[in-house]
Every structure is written in C-alpha cells, then in structure tokens.
Amino acid sequence: MRKLTVFATIIATVLATSLPQLAQAQDMGRALGGIFNSLTRPAQPQAPAVPSLGSILGPAIGGRAGGSDLLQMLTQSLDQIDEPREIEIGRQLAAVLLGSKPLHPDLALQRYVNQLGRWISLQSARPQLPWTFGVLDDPGVNAFAAPGGYIFVTKGLVDRVDEAELAGILAHEITHVIDRHHLQALRAKARAGIATQVFSSQLNNNLGGALSAQLLALGRDLYSSGLDQDDEFDADRNGVTLAARAGFDPYGLPSVLQQLRTAAPDNPLFSLSLRTHPAPQLRLDQLELAMGNRLDAFSGKPAVLLSQRLAGRRR
C-alpha cells in the first residue's frame, strides 16, 4: 500500500478548504484538477430527471465524429473505432450515467477513488487512457464503466466495502474498458436495430444537437440490461489478476460477490446490479475454477477501511 501512498502524493491535492455542499458539487470539476470538467456542470434547479445532456457534456472532441457518425461506425467493425472515437463514445455514455445520478459531493472521497482507480489502471494494458473515476450519489450498490476509461461506483457500494474490495470492483470495471466489452455490446445492439426502436419512444427528450440521441438510447438500454455473461466472467477473472498486480488482496472482488450473494434479490438497493450480472454464486464458482489457489500467496493482507484512508484527507 506504500506504492499507492506514493502515487497519491503525485496527484495534486487541489482543494484544502471545505466549501458549502452545493458549491462543492458545482466546483467538482475544478477541484479535481479538471478530471470532471467536461462532465460536471450543475443541473438547472428545475432540471428534468434527465438533464440537458448537451449542457453537461460541452463540445464534442474536435468535431472528429458526430454522434450519428459514431453510431454508424458501431454498426460496422470495431476496428474502425480508434481510441479518440472510443473515448468520445464513452464520454457520451458517461453523461447518460451522470444524467441519472449526480456525483457525490464528498470531494475527499472523489479524489481518493480517483487515485485508487488510476493506480490500478496504470497496471493495466491501457494505462494511457484518460481514466476518470467518480462516486455517484446513489444509495444503491452498483458500478458502471463506459468506453475510454470512465468508471463510476455508487455511494451505496463504497459504504459497504474496504479498500481491497473496492480495488477488486474497480479492477473488474477497468477490465471491461480494456477489453472494449461495452463497445461490442453497443455494436450488437446497433446492428439489431434496437437504437431505432428505443429512440422512437423517446422523441420528446431534448437532447443536445451534437449528440446522437440514438447512441444515448443505446447506452440507456445497455446499462439497464447489462453485458454478456461471458464478459462479466472475463472481467471477474482478469479483474482479480489486475487487482493483485496493483498490490491488493485478490480476494477483494470475491468478498464483494459474497456480500451480493446474501442480498435479497428484491432489495431495491441491489436489484439493478443483480439483474444486470450473472448470479453471484455463479460468478464465485467461475472465479474459483479460474483462480484455484494460485493467488493465495497475494492474499491475507490486513483490511484497510476507507474511513482510515479518508481520515487524513478531510480538513
């Protein structure tokens, strides 16, 4: 964990004073050194459930590819989606997620999760992506990823895990990004024509002109239905390895799955997560098959509570 502490010092700690709650949320982008600049603009007081996405996102990257072009590409080959376009698609999908839940106003927590996530992503196969991590102000227990390196965890999840468990979850989501699982799923949906169907039922939404309403509709559909089971098993397997490579107890992710397994399926805090993923017991079984006892040498580290990590950061 010393490595993480060293890494943490590299990232500038910008905000030392505590701001009023509302201002905190509004200044999140600046306070986090620009990480969220393109994503967090305060919603209007009378904003609808899905705020104006155009206002949250700001301009598209260099106008390289408009939303409809991106969608067009999705229906063809993933090879045609280079990294800037992948990031642009992810930025638009991140807005879908932020449109349904805002970022939690605890800046110390946001900084910590970013440092943790970035440290893990540096050990991944794609350390150069603009990795961005956020905690959504949502009591539910869930985590989401979008192409290009956008990753969100809910406050409800963060409140229930220790550091190794959070590292396991982040590593699972990072693996989805590395392996472009969401792009593949979007492509399948785009080819199946789901975009058109979903879009036609949402004609009244006021979406930013530069964005592809169809891409956003695909994103909403994807986040409510989930990825392929095999992609989830892959992300579990590779996520455990990645977490271990980053210096964390590889049993962090299995430990969260144990928690999920004991959750009542109809508990609304867990229902979306359970509905969009294979059954926790199935995931544990698959992990056991893959891990055996090969990672046992990396386990047994004393648990670090998030409250310990955050204690020195809130002043």
Question: Within positions 228 to 257, which residues make up the interface with Zn ion, using CB under 5 A?
Answer: 232, 235
Q: Measured from the CB of residue 145, what is the shortest distance to Zn ion in angstroms? A: 7
295-310 burial string, b = 16+ CB within 10 Å, else e? beebeeeeebebeebe
Residue type, 31: A
Q: Measured from the CB of residue 234, what is the shortest distance to Zn ion in angstroms? A: 9
Contact call for residue 103 and Zn ion (CB under 5 A): no
Q: Measured from the CB of residue 194, what is the shortest distance to Zn ion in angstroms? A: 20
Contact call for residue 31 and Zn ion (CB under 5 A): no
- # residues near Zn ion by CB under 5 A: 2
Contact call for residue 136 and Zn ion (CB under 5 A): no
Return the residue matching tokens 């010393």: 2
In angstroms, what CA-CA distances link 289 with 69, 280, 283? 42, 14, 10
In angstroms, what CA-CA distances link 159 with 155, 180, 196, 271? 6, 28, 38, 17
CB neighbourhood size of 142 (10 A): 22
Contact call for residue 169 and Zn ion (CB under 5 A): no
Q: Measured from the CB of residue 143, what is the shortest distance to Zn ion in angstroms? A: 7
Nearest alpha-carbon partner for 260 in 160, 168, 116: 160
Any idea what the Cα angle at residue 85 is, between residues 79 and 91, rounded to 5°? 135
Structure tokens at 256: 């969260």
Query: Which stretch, 10-18, 48-56, 125-133, 224-232, contacts Zn ion (CB under 5 A)?
Result: 224-232
| Closer of 111 and 237 to Zn ion (Cβ) | 237
Residue type, 165: E
Q: Measured from the CB of residue 162, what is the shortest distance to Zn ion in angstroms? A: 20
Q: Measured from the CB of residue 7, what is the shortest distance to Zn ion in angstroms? A: 25
| Closer of 155 and 182 to Zn ion (Cβ) | 182
Contact call for residue 170 and Zn ion (CB under 5 A): no
| Closer of 235 and 287 to Zn ion (Cβ) | 235
The contacts of residue 291 (CB under 8 Å, 6+ apart) are 237, 240, 250
Contact call for residue 174 and Zn ion (CB under 5 A): no
| Closer of 72 and 259 to Zn ion (Cβ) | 259
| Closer of 38 and 241 to Zn ion (Cβ) | 241
Chain positions contacting Zn ion, by CB under 5 A: 232, 235
